[in-house]
Amino acid sequence: MNNSDTWKVLLVDDNPDNLGVLKDTLTPAGYDLFFASSGEKAIEIALQTQPDLILLDVIMPKPDGYETCKILKANEKTKDIPVIFITAKKDTEDIIQGFAVGGVDYVPKPFFEDEVCAR
């Protein structure tokens, strides 16, 4: 966690509606939220803000969430930031791939707000 009392969370999804739901879910908890609608923007924001957690969609235009996670984990500045995938991809092989590229957890869509906050 960062030095302040507020956790910084980067939300990454190419669907603005999904970002809105995540924002509505996490804002009451007092998190300092950052938003990205692409993997490229997520990497840029992560390097600048050093979030405490990244909630990352998998299904996005290039780079997809898996590739974005690989890039983040390969960078010395972002390698230790936990990544939780939030995605509609629910097959076992998709979940395994998420862990293989460095994700720490996997939340299927549609998600339950309480579950996202708990994780």
Nearest by Cα to 63 from 38, 88, 81, 87: 38
Contact 34, 13 (CB under 8 A): no
Q: Are residues 36 and 12 in contact, defined by beta-carbon separation less than 8 angstroms?
A: yes
Backbone angles phi, psi at 85, to 5 degrees: -80, 135
pLDDT of residue 43: 97
For residue 73, the model assigns a pLDDT of 97
The amino acid sitting at 94 is: D
d(CA 34, CA 51): 8
Residue-level pLDDT at 91: 80
State which residues of the chain have pLDDT below 70.
Answer: 1-5, 109-119
pLDDT at 44: 97
